[in-house]
A and B are shown apart, each in its own frame.
Chain A
Amino acid sequence: MTAIEKPPNIRDKRIKIITGNHAAAHALRQAKVGVIAAYPITPQSPVVEKIAEFVSKGKLNARFVKVESEHSALAVCCAASATGSRVGTATSSHGLMLMYEMLPWASGNRLPIIINLATRATGAPWSVWTDHQDFITIRDVGWIQMFCMDNQEIYDTNLQAFKIAEDSRVFLPTVVAYDGYILSHTMMPVLIEKQEQIDEFLPPLKHHINLSDVSVVKGIDPVTTPHLRDRGIEGIAPGYFEYRYAMQKALENSIEIITNVHDEFSEKFGRSYGNGIYKTYLAEDADILIFAMGSVASQARNVIGQLRKDGLKVGLVSLKLFRPFPALKLRELFKEAKLVVVFDRDIGYGYEGVLSYELKAALYGLKHAPFIKGFIVGLGGRDVTNQHITIGVNKAIKESETGIISHETDFIGLKLDDLGDYDEKDYFKGG
């Protein structure tokens, strides 16, 4: 399912034992980004540090703009991309949230910027540990969003992400996410390809905007009207509505391009990640499918063998492409399933886990739609254990037998009992 099905040949000189953060940094280096602007934040900081090292040692011929905030980081990225450079950055949690204003600016401008996101919970209270809340929170800004499950996948996905984002049918910024600490700080073997091979796969950026060509006067991002506008001999200028329509269409069309780029990569380098959109494990004959992303999917994979020994035909679907949400592909994939158990390391506060409700929406109206049960796990880095997954699957089986669909959230892994006299009405007690 993941990149390294066979143990890697450690005698292969191309293999480095590195963290997820460094895998991201190596990918940015080999993609030959021209401008990087980044601000340190735990657990992403080692990406910034590694890139600073690459630049200072002359291993990467890029301008590294050491900005004073993430808001400025993405503003620098946007301006540099509009001036025609290939651009990448990295962040986490509050950093991504501070970038928020610039996110729809980048996508609205159709700038192929890559953000590496080492996922982290959002405050308050402070937590530096992983969950997917930061990743989930930016789902409506028009970025392509992908999630990785190991360090090789981080490296490979970055290289694919540039090619996808810079495709003239796409021109959209992309987030490549991986769990903070679980991948960002864990060393794994990563095969770093030869630069010539990467150059063959990823040609230089051919941008649709290039401010540095001063002979062609451009006004980028002026105020738009609600309506089309006649501009004389130049023809008709679109209004805001048309810009955003084009953006949505580019996102919808990108699914095919994402698959193609994944297949091309896999053919060239011999590593594949399902179909580039989701990965399955023992899903073919399964009645019960677990649906999750990143670290949670990795954990679930560990449990499936045991669950199968217990007589449950369980399989796993781990989602790689979260935006655009591959609804049609998922409808096809889940059309035979009886039960889907969704584990969200995030929550749409006031409703339920985001993967859970998005899957429900995607499968709406299927003739034999599966029963879908969602659980919230692992917020703020709470360990997600084999036991949690097993509890979830068993509980979901029980509930599916009643057939009653509930939107009430179910948390697995809470330790309320350990708090002794914990009272929900008095949650500040002892704080």
Chain B
Amino acid sequence: MVKLMEIPEEEYIFPGTRACAGCSMALIYRIALKALGPKTIITVPASCLTVLHGMQGFCTTKVSVLHTPFATTGASASGIVASLEDKGLADEINVLAFAGDGGTVDIGIQSLSGAVERGTNFIYACYDNEAYMNTGVQRSGSTPHGAYSTTTPNGKTGYKKNMAKILEAHGIPYVATAISSYPLDLFEKFKNAMKIKGPKYIHILAPCPPGWGYNPKDSIEIGRLAVQTGFWPLYEVIEGKFILSKDSQRFLDPTKRKPIGEYLNIQKRFKSISNEDIEIHQNYIEEQWKQIKKRIEND
């Protein structure tokens, strides 16, 4: 794995962005840009990242950004790539689509599916804060079971969409999950994605202090708990081959996993969750890891 000292010192986002205190999306964005470097064009739909970029007249990033309507991230990336191919610049410039969970698993799923089906050579990063945070915490298709949002005042029922699996089903050469709390892993995944031609998809869980209801200083800790409880397994699927990431490997052993309650109980959005709901989560996690184990054994 990449070492801390190997991460470039160069920053591609200026300090003092409009992101909330403790925003893990800002961390993810920072690491992603360090991996991609200056020859990058980013396309961004309506999302928290639009807010981070700031109002017209300021530019928070040191690479070019094209803002695009909510449903069009995948198509927008396709358009940039097509134009770069037209100009013979496709091999010189990285194209990154960077969207939230609403823009990816809900309104943007069609254009994303289309773009990857067409074999567009780009990286699509979904930072998943598990609801429409930018518009004030409304549920999305990525909101987990039992979570409060302004549109699920009694807690959502049903699981979050497994977007990484959906993208894997498109048969694309690179799919990965990541989280801001493991920045070296995150950096390496962007680097790995860059080496591969074709559509690459990275789904990154992004703890959100105002949306999840926790102290901003705990963003890293919460993200670690998501991994340590087994809620968020870190992995890559490269050309169909499943690789459990180093930071998740020991959680193949169920006894090493922390109880899910430790992750849920420190977030206000799960305040009114019942023991039964916790059980549902626990069972979901067990099932998820059973499948992972099976995949590793079969590979």
Q: Which residues of A contact B (CB under 8 A)?
A: 34-35, 37, 62-63, 65-69, 71-73, 75-85, 101-102, 105, 211-212, 214, 216-225, 229-231, 237-239
Contacts and interface: CB of A to CB of B under 8 A. Distances in A.
A82 B43 CA distance: 11
21 contacts: A63-B86, A67-B75, A68-B113, A71-B71, A79-B79, A83-B83, A84-B87, A85-B82, A85-B87, A211-B41, A211-B64, A211-B66, A212-B41, A212-B93, A214-B38, A217-B62, A219-B60, A220-B65, A223-B56, A230-B57, A237-B57
Nearest to A76: B79
B241 to A, nearest CB: 28
Interface in B64-96: 64-69, 71-72, 74-80, 82-87, 89, 93
Interface of B: 38-41, 43, 50-51, 53-69, 71-72, 74-80, 82-87, 89, 93, 110-111, 113-114, 117-118
Given A68-B110, A72-B74, A222-B53, A79 B68 contact: yes
Nearest to A237: B57
B56 A220 contact: no
Contacts of A237: 56-57
Nearest to A231: B57
B233 to A, nearest CB: 30
A218 B58 CA distance: 10
B64 A217 contact: yes
Contacts of A221: 66-68
Contacts, number: 172
Contacts of A238: 56
Contacts of B77: 79
A211 B80 contact: yes
Given A66-B118, A69-B110, A218 B86 contact: no
Contact of B79 (A62, A68, A78): A78
Contacts of B82: 35, 37, 63, 65, 76, 80, 85
B56 A224 contact: yes
B36 to A, nearest CB: 11
B154 to A, nearest CB: 33
Contacts of B64: 211, 214, 216-220
Contacts of B50: 222-223
Contacts of B110: 68-69, 72
A219 B59 contact: yes
| From B39, B71, B75, B83, residue with most partner A Cβ within 10 Å | B83
Nearest to A39: B114
Given A214-B64, A217-B61, A72 B40 contact: no
Given A35-B83, A69-B114, A224-B56, A78 B89 contact: no
B85 A101 contact: no
B83 A212 contact: yes
Nearest to A77: B79
Contact of A223 (B40, B55, B87, B93): B55
A185 to B, nearest CB: 28
Given A80-B79, A222-B54, A223-B55, A105 B69 contact: yes
Contacts of A62: 86
A108 to B, nearest CB: 11
Nearest to B73: A75
B282 to A, nearest CB: 38
B75 A79 contact: yes
Given A34-B83, A219-B65, A231-B57, A214 B72 contact: no
A223 B84 CA distance: 26
User: Which of A62, A71, A80, A218 counts the most B-chain CB atoms under 10 A from its CB?
Assistant: A80
A346 B76 CA distance: 33
Contact of A85 (B55, B61, B83): B83
Contacts of B59: 217-219, 222
Given A73-B75, A237-B57, 5 more contacts: A67-B118, A79-B66, A79-B76, A211-B66, A222-B67
A378 B41 CA distance: 48
Contacts of A229: 55-57
A52 B50 CA distance: 36
A364 to B, nearest CB: 36
Nearest to A234: B57
Contacts of A217: 59, 61-64
A224 B76 contact: no
Nearest to A83: B83
A73 B72 CA distance: 10
A351 B86 CA distance: 47
A279 B190 CA distance: 58
A220 B111 CA distance: 20
Given A62-B86, A76-B76, A84-B87, A220 B66 contact: yes
B79 A220 contact: no
A234 to B, nearest CB: 8
A74 B178 CA distance: 32
Given A34-B86, A212-B83, A212-B87, A78 B76 contact: yes
Given A76-B75, A80-B79, A102-B69, A222 B56 contact: yes
Contacts of B86: 34-35, 62-63, 80, 85
A67 B77 CA distance: 12
A342 B77 CA distance: 45
A65 B56 contact: no
A223 B58 CA distance: 10
Which of B63, B71, B82 has the largest number of chain A CB atoms within 10 A? Answer: B82
Contacts of A239: 56
Contacts of A78: 68, 76, 79
Contacts of B55: 222-225, 229
B111 A79 contact: no
Contacts of B65: 218-220, 222
Contacts of B84: 83, 212
A136 to B, nearest CB: 23
Contacts of B89: 212
A374 to B, nearest CB: 36
A68 B67 contact: no
B63 A68 contact: no
Given A67-B114, A68-B113, A211-B41, A75 B80 contact: no
A212 to B, nearest CB: 5
Contact of A214 (B41, B67, B83, B114): B41
A104 to B, nearest CB: 10
A219 B76 contact: no
Contacts of B69: 75, 101-102, 105
Contacts of A79: 43, 66, 68, 75-80, 83
